[in-house]
Amino acid sequence: MKSAHRLNNTPIEVPRGLTNVVVTETRLSDVRGQEGFYHYRQYSAVDLARSRSVEDVWHLLLDGDLPTTDQRASFAAEIASASRLGRTVSDALPLIAAATTRADSLAGLRVAMALQGASAGLRPLLDLTREERRRDLIGLAALAPTVIAAQHRIQHGHAPVESRPELGYVANYLYMLTGRVASPDVVEALSAYLVAAIDHGFSASTFTSRVIASTGADAASCLVGALGALSGPLHGGAPSRALDTLDEIGSTDNIDTFVMSRLQAGERIMGFGHPVYRTEDPRSTLLKQVAQRFGGARVDFAVAVEERIPVLLEKFKPGRQLHTNLEWDAAVVMELCGLDRELFTPTFAVARLLGWSANVLEQADDSKIIRPSARYVGPAAPQPVPSETDARSAA
């Protein structure tokens, strides 16, 4: 729905949710929804997910190119150094874990990241060089796997596991979660997911990070704000709900009954539909292939449900073109990798923090604050302000 609005006496259309409104320029990524394609800089994001590590893609977004062999080693060392928790955050983790529920690990991550920024004395981005901004952003984003893993283990009655960065970003995250070195196929599967999820145009959380960056605030404020946006179930909170849907359906015989009852009640089917794609989400296609390499009854059932629901959605809402999105197949892949459901959204955040760091770095190069206008729809003005005597009389 579009609303008429006048700005400086010029009539404009205001689309709901700012759909298709261009707010700035970026060199980081683009989503071509009509084509079912997205890319990071000059490379297909799906091709990168199939062939490159998380570290390589993070380097690409931050610095503009895939790393050489020497650059890869240097960047890995930089990440390893940044991923060590400071004493303040480390000491606070038991309190943070106790204060948050297992189902809301993002709340703990937000607290830890804000505490890290405060204890490190991070200065406003406006007052820093680009290299200093980059350092601060890497230092914060690289902490996420360590914080999430430590918080998860504490909440389940286990001591945190010492980081082993030599394993690589993804393998080290899995190791810190479980205390075991994951198999190569599990590392490869989770790596594909994380790379596919690092960035995806101007999502709500990415836009939030850039709005805060445009004020010149410190790096922690930018990333904590983005985490807050990601916590909403309409954004990053859907993966575990996709598995809940699978469990509720139970068997292929129940798919139609379950879906139609939900639709008739006006409820959403989590994991289906996307505000940008009008064809199949390429991330879903990629992760379905990743899941099918594992095989098994769970994967077969998930695929059967995934293929049936769009048919029912088309019957109920003709022409809406509602296809599977990232969350559905991401949930299946993360379950196959042995992650608890409560870790699904935090693991998504592990990926997105890398993309946000690049977006904040890019936005900080622009000295113009993001300051849109709103369409006023309240009562007409001016009206006389009632006196206190009139207000008491009315009461």
The percent of residues in the chain predicted with pLDDT above 90, rounded, is: 61
* Cis, peptide link before residue 310, omega less than 30° from 0: no
Distance CA 231, CA 251 (A): 30
Provide mean pLDDT across the span 357-373.
94
Question: What are phi and psi for residue 207, nearest 5 degrees?
Answer: -60, -40
Question: Which of 59, 152, 200, 274 is an active site residue?
Answer: 274
Concerning whether 78 is annotated as a catalytic residue, the answer is no
Does position 275 have pLDDT exceeding 70, yes or no? no
User: What is the spatial distance between Cα 340 and Cα 115, in angstroms, rounded to a whole number?
Assistant: 26
pLDDT for residue 19 is more than 50: yes
- Range with the lowest mean pLDDT among 92-96, 98-102, 272-276, 368-372? 272-276
pLDDT at 321 over 90: no
Question: Where on the phi/psi map is residue 274: left (φ > 0), alpha (ψ -120 to 50), or beta?
Answer: beta
Query: Mean pLDDT for the chain?
Result: 89
Lowest mean pLDDT segment, chosen from 2-6, 52-56, 61-65, 211-215: 2-6
Residue 176 CA to residue 102 CA, distance in Å, equals 17
**Buried (b) or exposed (e) across 17-53, using 16+ Cβ within 10 A?**
eeeeeeeeebebbebebeebebbbbeeebbebbbebb
* 327 Cβ neighbours under 8 A, 6+ residues apart: 238, 239, 241, 242, 270, 271
Helix (H, G, I), strand (E, B) or coil at 4: strand
Q: Between 1.20.58.100, 3.50.50.60, 1.10.580.10, 3.40.462.10, what CATH number should domain 33-232+341-364 receive?
A: 1.10.580.10
Q: What is the CA radius of gyration of the chain?
A: 23
pLDDT digits (tens, 9 = 90+) for 173-207: 999 999 999 999 999 999 999 999 999 989 999 99
Whether 9 shows a pLDDT value over 60: the answer reads no
Instruction: Please state the domain extents for the chain.
Output: 33-232+341-364, 239-336
Assign 3-state DSSP to the chain and report helix, strand, coil percentages, each to 5.
Answer: 60, 5, 35
Confidence of residue 316 (pLDDT cuts 50, 70, 90): confident
Q: Give the pLDDT mean for 327-350.
A: 92
**How does residue 237 score in pLDDT terms, banded at 50, 70 and 90?**
low
pLDDT 10s digits, 204-230:
999 999 999 999 999 999 999 999 999
Q: Is the pLDDT of residue 162 over 60?
A: yes
Q: Has this prediction a pTM greater than 0.85?
A: yes
Look at residue 212 and give its three-state secondary structure.
helix
- The answer to whether residue 274 is catalytic is yes
Contact 194, 54 (CB under 8 A): yes
Pick the CATH number of 239-336 from 1.10.600.10, 2.60.120.260, 1.10.230.10, 1.20.140.10: 1.10.230.10
Q: What is the mean pLDDT of residues 369-375?
A: 87
User: If you search the block for the tokens 């893609």, which residue do you land on?
Assistant: 57
* Averaged pLDDT, 114-131: 97
Asked which of 108-117, 130-139, 143-152, 237-246 is least confident by mean pLDDT, the reply is 237-246
Query: Tokens 């949930």 map to which residue?
Result: 331
For residue 298, pLDDT beyond 60: yes
pLDDT for position 1:
44
pLDDT at 347 over 70: yes
Residue type, 75: F
- pLDDT computed for residue 274 by the predictor: 59
| Residue 167: alpha-carbon gap to chain centroid | 24
